[in-house]
Amino acid sequence: MESVIPKPVQRTGDTPAQPDRRKSPGQPRPGRVGAGLRYLVLSAHDYRSPRKANIHFIARELARRGETRFFSLRYSLLSRRTGDPRLSLDREANRVGVLDGVECYLWKTPIHPFNTRRPDLRKLEEWMFRGYVALASRVLKRWLSEADVVVFESGVSPVFFDLAKRLNPRARTIYIASDDLDTIEVADYVKGAFRRAAPKMDTIRIPSRTLVERMPSKDNLVLVPHGIDHKLAGAEEPSPYRDALNAVSVGSMLFDPGFFAEASHRFPNVHFHIIGCGQPHHPSYGPNVTVYDEMPHEDTVRYIRHADIGIAPYRSEAVPAYLADTSMKLIQYDFFGVPAVCPHAVVGGYASRFGYKPGDGVSVEQAINQALKAPRGASRQHLNWSEVTNRILAPADFDDTRISP
């Protein structure tokens, strides 16, 4: 697959460039892949959210190469009913903000389209999505027309592909497959939009080989795993723990409180720390369980680094296989050499992970015992986010991005 890094689009009426005095994570350096381009990221995340996903770190790296904008989709008055993690940014909605040199826009509408999960309402879903695109924000249209590279993250963003090509046919288009669309249960209209757009995109990036067969286009497919900030390894932060043995769980995805109801009573000598699960302290937990609200990424890292074991308490064995390669908490546990406990389905090829069957207390106990006895150490090397972004922007320059037949 050929990598093409476009030249910045010359726009009629552009004024001479002025020095950018906004705080930036780094000025584009000569020779850096994709330097000097204008980037636009479309996502259902917001760059300013305290909870960080892979798209946040990719956007940060893009901002080190050129002007970067982050447009946040699928947010409305309905979001209060779903506990949307962007609610803390509600006051910032519908106005441009800047964080670390990235221009941000949280587009809030009266309602947003969604999956009704009812076949008899498919026409209504189609009407909602078509209207969402037809009434696209003026900011989105302007940002699309000015971008050299448009990055679509998996989710609702593919419905704007045709609009992007109509407004800016020269822009390069990249799809970031953070999740399989069936797994995150997007509406059929979104799946159809992606199927139509996929062959026309310049690059489709998948972070796990298990996603190959889930992609509707193969010729433009590249494999680039998630990364991690290697600087975290050198930051000697004091341990937040006071007990001798500590286990940590981070995040809310498919969170299973039943795991800790079992584990806390089977291991009274282990203190279980649950960070950002989005649920209150469960009455079945033992006294050795502490539940924390979501905290800044840098603070969360301290809990991971100094933990004796890390836990990914997914509530079902029927989790997608690609989570073995894409779960950020599992990647972070491995990077810091922390033995991990997780369902068998997401152990993957990682020697540092110990599997259990959700809902089976004996299986949970065995996995925790194995993890507590395991030596610390990473199972594999992990790319940093600059290396990840280089591969996304210029996949042909790296042999490891190729999808073997």
Which one from 179, 180, 202, 308 is the annotated catalytic residue? Answer: 179
**What order of strands is seen across the sheet that includes strand 309-311?**
289-292, 271-275, 246-250, 309-311, 340-343, 353-356
CA distance 315 to 279: 14
Say which residues have a Cβ less than 8 Å from residue 288's Cβ, sequence separation at least 6: 264, 267, 268, 269, 270, 271, 272
Residues in the chain, total: 405
Which helix H or strand E contains 43, and what residues bound it? strand 39-43
- Strand order, beta sheet including 221-223: 97-99, 102-109, 68-76, 39-43, 149-153, 172-176, 203-206, 221-223
DSSP 257-286: HHHHHHHHHH-TTSEEEEES-SSPPPTTS-
Kindly state the tokens that stand for 14: 């552009």
**Which residues touch 194 (CB under 8 Å, ≥6 apart)?**
158, 175, 181, 216
- DSSP bridge partners of 103: 69, 98
14 is catalytic: no
C-beta of residue 1 within 8 angstroms of C-beta of residue 358: no
Going by the DSSP 8-state scheme, the letter that residue 14 receives in this structure is P
Spatial separation of the C-alpha atoms in residues 314 and 249, rounded to whole Å = 10
* CA distances for 39 relative to 36, 226, 330, 353, 395, angstroms: 10, 20, 29, 37, 17
Residue found under tokens 């979001």: 79
Cite the active site residues: 179
